[in-house]
Structure formats: C-alpha cells, structure tokens
Amino acid sequence: MKAILLEKYGRPKEVLELKEIPIPNLKENEVLIKIYTTTVNDYDWSMVRGKPYLHRLLFGLSKPKNPIVGMELAGVVEGIGAKVSKLKVGDAVFGDISNFGFGTFAEYIGIHEDAVLVKPDELSFEIAAAIPHASLLALQALRGIAKIKKGQKVLINGGGGGVGTIGLQIAKLSNCEVTGVDSDEKLGMMKSLGYDQVIDYKKTDFTKTGEQYDLILDCKSTKSPFSYLRALMPTGIYVTIGGNPSSLISVLFWGMIFTLFSSKKLKILGLKPNEGLDEIAQLIIQNKISPEIDGPYTLENTADLIQYFGEGKHKGKIVIKVSGRS
C-alpha cells in the first residue's frame, strides 16, 4: 500500500515521503479499513515538526514511534479480527481515531473497532472525513462547555478554519450574533458563510477594541488570559480548543484563580473523540449545517498541505482523497 512516512522531525516537505509498505496485520479486536478520505489537523502540523517539544515525550524523542500520522478518516472495512463484533466487512465507517492511534495518511489502516462509527449513507466520504475532529471541537465547546444560549454575542478566533466555520453555523442555530477573527485572505469567505462581523487579526486586536462578548471560542490561544477577560461580558465565558502548551497552562491556572472572585470563566476543552458525531451527522443530513471543504487533494500533496495548514492559509477543512469513491 501507499503511505506517507515520517521518519524524522522537520519541515513537512523535507521529512515526509510517499512510499510503498505492507498492508498491516490485524490484532483480534481490530478492523482493516481501506481509507477513501482523510484530513489535515493541528496534530499533524505539530507531529511532523516535533514541536511543541512536549509532543516528543509522548510520540518519540528523536523520531516518531509511529511513522504514519493522520487522525481522521472515512473508508470501508475490508477485514476484521477474530474478536470484532460491532463491524463487518463492507461497512462504510468514519471517525477520529486518536483515542486508539494514528496513521490515516495511508491507503489502509488497522485500528480498534471502537475507533470508528458506521457512516450514514447520506454523507459522502469527503464530508464524513471532514467532520469528526473539527466539528466536535466546535460542538463540545459551544454546547457542552459554554452552554450557548439564544441571542448571545459570540466571537470565534480562527473563524475561517474547520472548527470556526462549523462553530459559526452551530451558533447561528441559536440565533447568535457572531464575529469571526482570521487573516484578510479568509474574510470574504467568512462573510459569505454568515459571519455578522469579521476582523483581520493582523490589523486589529479584538481584545483591545472595547467590544465584549458573551462567549469566545478560541482556536488559536495566543494572548494572555487577562486580554480575554477584558473582552468578556460580566458573565461571559472563554473556551479554548487548543494552542501552544504555555498558553494553555496559563489559561488553566488563571481560569481557576478567576473563578474564585469573578463570574467570568476561562475554560479549556478536552476533546472526547467521536462523542456527538451522530448529532453532527444528522445536522448535516438535515441541511442545518455544512462543513466548508478545502479540496479534495491527493495523498501525494500531503507535505504541501500540512505546510499550507501550518501557515494558516486553508479555508475550512483540508480534505485528502486517498482512494475509492467520494
């Protein structure tokens, strides 16, 4: 099978190679999935470069323990282990596999059967691959942690990416007024998707405009916790879905302190992979939300696409067509 291999850390174009390797052997609780589509995520950008260095403690100090990265897929089961009970050969499946491993930048993967769900027939493989990670970050942050309410004033920092574009649509289902922050190149697309206001982060610091929000969903987390507090309403909530470890530690620490004397809240989302995925799928089937897809591209373009993601140039979710149908 073809796979993108990472055998040392570095710049994507310098360390990622497309190679032929054997199809994996299955353990008794694993399924063999022929991958039709996969995606690019922040994990891939961090893992390929080995930065932040904290990742290396988990995934290999000098080089990756697993040379194939990638965490989202949609595909078809082509083989099952002896103790597999939930899936059968021929099932179309999708999901965020990160609770059980990585390795979706390949034509096949062997993974625990609990890593994926059966794909609804109404979803294409491209859409199915695009929704597990980003959509659930948005759903779990907005509805799970923030308990979004009708008519709230919401800001999404990183509004033009996969999480932001779905987050906008979830907020609009609650008739919220939504401001999106991203680069100038994405603002036109963001306006067309329904943002009420858009901000170019290179020109305007949203924490210094004097505007305050009931809810801030942050996909970047590059500022101090005090800046976010300044931009919150008296009972507002800030939720970050990721960022560099030092920023997240700062949000965690000060969030606990502020809770003691302020009604404003600073929260970090710890994603629960695939929890709520059926709900997202049904919202798409009912035409209530729709993922914004950048692509599909080919597996051969993976290194360029990870660099493209890391530079923040992507609009919506980057989808890679590995093989098979769409």
Is 274 contained in some domain?
A: no
pLDDT value at residue 319: 98
CB 291 within 8 A of CB 137: no
For residues 263-284, give the mean pLDDT: 96
Where in the sequence is the domain holding 142, given as residue range(s)?
134-268
Does pLDDT of 214 surpass 90?
yes
CA atoms within 13 A on the CB side of 110: 15
Assigned domain for 35 exists: yes
Indicate if 83 and 140 belong to the same structural domain: no
Q: Per-residue pLDDT tens for 148-193?
A: 999 999 999 999 999 999 999 999 999 999 999 999 999 999 999 9
Per-residue pLDDT band for 63 (boundaries 50, 70, 90) equals: confident
Q: Look at residue 283 and tell me if it is in a domain.
A: no
In total, how many domains does the chain have? Answer: 2
At 325, is the pLDDT very low, low, confident or very high (cuts 50, 70, 90)? low
Phi and psi angles of residue 126, each rounded to the nearest 5 degrees, phi first: -65, -50
Indicate if the pLDDT at residue 84 is higher than 80: yes
Q: Is residue 273 part of a domain?
A: no
For residues 263 and 140, state if they share a domain: yes
Query: Is residue 47 located within the same domain as residue 66?
Result: yes
144 and 232 share a domain?
yes
% of the chain with per-residue pLDDT over 70? 99
Q: 240 and 139 in one domain?
A: yes
- Residue 316 sits in a domain whose CATH number is 3.90.180.10
Both 182 and 237 in one domain: the answer is yes
123-133 pLDDT, tens per residue?
999 999 999 99
Are 253 and 300 in a shared domain? no
Compute the mean pLDDT over every residue in the chain, rounded to the nearest whole number: 95
Q: Mark whether 160 and 227 lie in a shared domain.
A: yes
Say if residue 242 is in the same domain as residue 306. Answer: no
Considering only CA atoms, which of 86, 135, 92 is closest in space to residue 281? 135
- Asked whether the whole model's pTM tops 0.95, one would answer no
Is there a domain that residue 50 lies in?
Answer: yes
CATH of the domain at 146: 3.40.50.720
Q: CB-based burial of residue 201 (10 Å sphere; 0-12 exposed, 13-18 middle, 19+ buried)?
A: middle
Residues 143 and 166 in one domain: yes
The answer to whether position 281 is within a domain reads no
Instruction: Give a yes or no: residue 89 inside a domain.
Output: yes
pLDDT at 251 (0 to 100): 84
Express as a percent the part of the chain with pLDDT over 90.
Answer: 85
259 plus 296 within the same structural domain:
no
Q: State residue 242's pLDDT score.
A: 83
Mean local confidence (pLDDT), 35-53: 93
The count of other CB atoms within 10 Å of the CB of residue 249 is: 11
State yes or no: pLDDT of 296 exceeds 60.
yes
The confidence band for 52, taking pLDDT boundaries of 50, 70 and 90, is confident
Q: What's the number of CA atoms in the CB half-sphere (13 Å) around residue 9? A: 17
Q: What's the whole-number mean pLDDT along residues 261-281?
A: 94
Average pLDDT estimate for 290-309: 97
Domain check: are 14 and 104 in the same one? yes
Residue 11 in any domain: the answer is yes
